[in-house]
Amino acid sequence: MGHSDQDRVVIFDTTLRDGEQSPGATMSHAEKLEIAGLLDEMGVDIIEAGFPIASDGDFEAVRAIAAQAQTAVICGLARANLNDIDRCWEAVKNARRPRIHTFIGTSPLHRAIPNLNQDEMADRIHETVTHARNLCENVQWSPMDATRTEDDYLCRVVEIAIKAGATTINIPDTVGYTAPRESADLIRMLLEKVPGADEIIFATHCHNDLGMATANSLAAVEAGARQIECTINGLGERAGNTALEEVVMALKVRNDIMPYQTGIDTTKIMNISRRVATVSGFPVQFNKAIVGKNAFAHESGIHQDGMLKNAETFEIMRPEDVGLTETNLVMGKHSGRAALRSKLNDLGFELGDNQLKDVFVRFKALADQKKEVYDEDLIALMQDGTDAESDRLQLKALKVTCGMGLPKVAEMTMTIDGSEHQVEASGDGPVDAAFNAVKALFEHKARLQLYQVNAVTEGTDAQATVTVRLEEDGKIATGQSADVDTVVASTRAYINALNRLLIRRQKSGADRPEVSYKDVS
């Protein structure tokens, strides 16, 4: 690596691979393609698109992402065996810039799993990295659980991987166990001790189990790592991965003490954060750094007073740096189509005329129910993927009675495969009664894994965004809907999740299309 590009830090996003491994965060094929497109557009250098051997669905998603990629390197993950590596290459080879990422667990705990001693594992690493390099010029290798591997053995296997042709060596903190000083020392040691280490790029891949993923990644960069592996919103199993928005904004805001550049267009951060939250069904905590709802809100009186006098008093970055538009221009029922289009453009949504027509009708209906329609309301409107014309189940009418001492009863009309059906059902509460009505009209074995309600804005007339996650035979689907009526939003979200399960059921069932889509659960 020449000195001229020493200050460039490569951003490697694994939202679609490591992020998608969070229990319940399963995305559909179309959603993966959409997220990959947004990552590419925002300037992510490498997109880890999936684990091709895991399932046919994963393989097809990686292959489709490779085909559509414009500038990003597209990478697939493979374990240390020839089958995995061949399948990975098959999936990424049509990308303009493909990469194979292969790994093996090198710590004593992980060596015990395949029952290999140090020499046997060293041979396996030499063989598999060589095989990957013969297929693809761009090869990344990871010693899984590196932070708990003996130093001398880590140096030995890293040297083997470099000699076998790996161009990037990733040092993963698989269990989120390291701390900043140790993270830096590890990279520094490898750069000093391993022959050829100055010829390749070291990467850092941190988990957030102790809340230090961002700090550990930045410490590794200061020690000489030049690739950060991260996910949008810090999505990932357990406590998640390093959050892309945090490391990117830290490098930007504190460029005085961390003089490194990334290629990320930070104004696109907010939009992709919202999309990932929606499609994964994992909402962003309000106080989350950079992308949380409260990250730029100043509630306390002293702060508000200071903010009005000078924004820099309490703000180290501007909302517009991360794509939060300052124009919180409130829309109302007299706002026209052009105003709506320009507002949605500001929020990162570009609409064709037909789409605009559909959204405008829904906007007017909402404006009749709410005096003021805020940015968040419009975003919820745009992300409400319910009642598509192609859906097999569609909610037509719903009336619920409830109250203290009253029976909770839902009267429902639903269209199933084009024909209307009606039912009356009771339950413990209004939402339970509505869900029971859906079950009565459309029998199914899906289990409710998650039911979550969030108010979109302040006020008693706020819309509720409801997220519902269903599980059936190991397949998971998430549905979402927003409405000023919480029971309506809940029912729509439930039906939305059922429609998605039906698509998955169909794809793995007898009426299987050419591509079978089995989900990685």
Residue ranges for the known binding site for Mn(2+) are 18, 205, 207, 241
The pair of three-digit structure tokens given for residue 492, joined into one six-digit string: 């729509």
Distance between CA atoms of 430 and 127, rounded to whole angstroms?
A: 61
Distance between CA atoms of 328 and 194, rounded to whole angstroms?
A: 54
Distance between CA atoms of 37 and 49, rounded to whole angstroms?
A: 11
Reported for 364-371, long-range contacts at CB under 8 A and 24+ positions apart, including other chains, are 364/333, 366/463, 366/484, 367/331, 367/332, 367/333, 367/335, 368/333, 369/461, 369/484, 370/461, 370/462, 370/463, 370/484, 371/332, 371/461
Q: Residues forming the annotated binding site?
A: 18, 205, 207, 241
Distance between CA atoms of 242 and 251, rounded to whole angstroms?
A: 14
Kindly give the residue spans of alpha helices, DSSP state H, lying in 301-402: 301-309, 337-346, 353-369, 375-382
Residue 284 DSSP one-character state: P
Indicate if the alpha-carbon torsion angle 113, 150, 50, 90 is positive or negative. Answer: negative
Residues 6+ apart with CB under 8 A from 431: 451, 486, 487, 490, 491
Cα 104 from chain centroid (whole Å):
25
Nearest Cα to 383, choosing from 289, 495, 271? 271
Helix axes 337-346, 353-369, angle to 10 degrees: 100
Kindly write down the DSSP assignment for every residue of 136-184, as one continuous string: -S-EEEEEETGGGS-HHHHHHHHHHHHHTT-SEEEEEETTS---HHHHH
Q: Identify the H or E element spanning 396.
A: strand 393-401
Indicate if the alpha-carbon torsion angle 454, 456, 460, 464 is positive or negative. Answer: negative
Number of H helices, E strands in the chain: 16, 14
